[in-house]
Structure 1
């Protein structure tokens, strides 16, 4: 499996203006394989806080391999992975523009608008689209659907992987716990070392710390390869630094309102588009009531399928890429057999 060839192309995309200012740039990679099927599905991926688009590569190798053996309509045409506009390569490209922003940061909602803009672009015109998001990326993918009529969505299905979505009511009922967790996440981000003399020093540091020490080795290698940028020190020496500024990561943990709105949109959308959910069995960062919220049929939240991956926690995409690929494969095969009829039935 590790020998499977993933072809990738890097793109830098324009995004819509914001509050009268020019839009930021969104970095993206398009992945394909020698057996990509032009009649197959086009997959769009959004990562979580502190991550980057390349985190999906180990999982994608497994997923492309799984789907190449399936029916033509279930195979993969290509996959696009996006950087949050202040994460990964986008953080480097947008560095000067981000420093001019005062106050504020790049919310999940702004990233969602950028993704929706891409969905309208010629790159994927007349493609059969499937959206994927992990953690906060699940909210970004869900919020991107607000740009389109409920009954005329560009997606044939959506996959939410360990979504960090919750209703306002549940947040308020667990307010002290939620605020305490948010404070700890912000504090941990701001305390973290983020500039190192060498890449080897950085690797030693992160191998001993959560969540990185729980990453699959292939994902950790990708993190070391793509998560850092050359940094010129104050005395002219060269160091390596995280691409995602720790202050931007800290602000992302406080972007609560947009997760409420994503949950509301999911409640509306799941009646029109199949939404598949992949959870981890370990409630390490996200309590079980997040999962209960996403599957509360009494409130109209009815996913097309739910798969729980044993032994994985919230960072499931980085911990168990092969298991995530297997879970996604099951969902793809079940919802793409006759997606048009399925949509009509749900409407």
Structure 2
């Protein structure tokens, strides 16, 4: 079955809800010594020989202050041993998470943000030619920098099957200088470094603010060259310039899936000068009325599922076998299942000890419970700078259950109709990155070629 697209439909009437804009981010203190940041817990994956990029892993401070106050984590269910005890403990955890979020929405928790210091772990792919030259080899010095932002519940490496196919394309390799792969504070390796600082409430605002913090203060001025593990902040003057003029030596494009798509949109709404294009992969951006701000039935099911899911096995291979036998994973591409097992699991007690997911279910649940930010972004989306081209990559599988209900995806793709297009991947549901990584890579490759390839004149004629 071939891929299709949605024709334009206007946004129907909806009742608007209160909006919160992203809170300001404190700039790094240039007079202070760099914080003693932790090192990445695992090295990056070496890409295949047909991918002309080198991968490194880096750590940056997360934004401060946080958007939410200090709130204790829900009561742990570690003492539950029987099935009935686990069911009771999971129900209690659900009620704690839901009650805390209701307090967050009502303002009962107050407006003072936490000052807990956290970090984000990012992977950088740099073209070998750029690495050796120390700068972009594009004639105007503004080759494309890509960024990938993941869905809730998955580590940054979930993108690897997509990225490896994309970067093996000679067309993309001519266009893209660098790729940065984002990881939110409670996911993957970031979780392993932040576990002691994470709270019992989380707003998606903070993922958008952390992305913005990286782009304004820590993304190096130019692509290429060898970078330290702990990235230095750019100068305050350069950061100030980025607020209004964007990057001098980068053409920045972000690809965001689900939670990562919503977060990327909010960052672009707040600092549009940073962005040249956004590739949305079924982002969780929802029309008010389709989501309730609290006690939403669809979100509650996700929260309950995250709390109750298994997150520990006797070994990595036992986990892999468990994934392969699960209906949830059977629709995934085999390479993504393998990647999730290899990069989404760790051994806290050593390689011969139990295998655990890098992100506990309770943290995934705490992220899922925020149904407010997606509706805020939906309302703001028409205000996104029309200069920023939007490409929507959406589910096309006939049995897909649309986020926001039937017809919502079509409405969303045309919420900001100018400079926008869409495609539906016929074999994929919401988890496009997991189910159709090669088709997704090919769509990104085609978009980059059309917009930035040799015939476009937008970035480069060819790699010199």
What TM-score do the two structures reach when normalised by structure 1? 0.84
Match of 1:295 in 2: 413
- Alignment partner of 1:92 is 2:192: yes
Higher relative contact order (Cα pairs below 8 Å, separated by 6+ residues): 2
1:258 Cα deviation from its structure 2 partner: 0.9
Provide, for residues 187-235 of structure 1, a one-character-per-residue CA deviation record: whole Å limited to 9, x for no partner. Answer: 22112111111011111222222432222111111111110121349xx
Query: Counterparts in 2 of 1:104-143, with a 5 A limit?
Result: 104-105=201-202, 107-121=203-217, 123-125=219-221, 126-143=249-266
Superposed, which structure 2 residues align to 1:35-54 within 5 Å? 38-39=137-138, 40-54=143-157
SS at 1:104 equivalent: coil
1:280 aligns to what? 395
Q: 1:179 aligned to 2:273?
A: no
Map Cα deviations across residues 90-145 of structure 1 (whole Å, 9 max, x no partner): 000001111xx3x413x321011111111113534321110110011101111112
1:69 aligns with 2:179: no
2:281–2:392 Cα contact (<8 Å) kept: yes
Q: 3-state DSSP class of the match of 1:284?
A: coil
Q: Secondary structure at the match of 1:69?
A: helix
**Shift in Å, 1:301:** 4.1
With 87-96 and 27-36 compared, the bigger mean Cα shift is at 27-36
Alpha-carbon shift at residue 26 of structure 1 (Å): 0.2
Structure 1 or 2: larger helix share? Answer: 1
- Kindly report the root-mean-square deviation, in angstroms, between the aligned alpha carbons of the 2 structures: 2.6
Any conservation in 1 of the 2:156–2:182 contact (CA below 8 Å)?
A: yes
Q: Secondary structure at the match of 1:168?
A: coil
Corresponding residue for residue 189 of structure 1: 306
Gap change, CA 1:288 and 1:141, over 3 Å in 2: same
Q: List structure 1 runs of 4+ shifted beyond 6 angstroms.
A: none
Contact 1:270 1:302 in 2 (8 A): no
2:86 matched residue in structure 1 = none
Q: Specify the alignment match of 2:368 in structure 1.
A: 253
Which sits farther off after the overlay, 121-130 or 310-319?
121-130
The TM-score normalised by the length of structure 2 is: 0.64
Distance 1:338 1:275, change over 3 A: farther
5 Å-filtered alignment, 1:289-328, equals 289-296=407-414, 300-302=416-418, 304-328=420-444
Distance 1:184 1:12 in 2: 33
Q: What's the offset of the Cα at 1:78? A: 1.1
- Name the counterpart of 1:9: 56
C-alpha deviation, 1:323, in angstroms: 0.5
Deviation string, structure 1 residues 247-294 (Cα, Å, up to 9, x no partner): 011122111111112223322115231111001202236344331221
The alignment partner of 1:94 has SS state of helix
Aligned counterpart, 1:219: 336
Q: Please give the alpha-carbon distance, in whole angstroms, between the structure 2 residues aligned to 1:215 and 1:135.
A: 16
Which protein is bigger by CA-based radius of gyration?
Answer: 2
* Structure 2 counterpart of 1:154: 274
**Deviations along 1:55-111, whole A, 9 cap, x unmatched?**
111111221223x33695xx111110111110010000001111xx3x413x32101
Does 2:286 correspond to 1:166? yes
Tell me whether 304-313 or 87-96 shows the greater mean CA deviation.
Answer: 304-313
Q: Find the residue that maps to 2:359 and give its secondary structure.
A: coil
Distance 1:104 1:122, change over 3 A: closer
Unaligned runs of 5+ in 1: 341-347
Change (3 A) 1:301 1:254: farther
3-state SS of 1:89 partner: helix
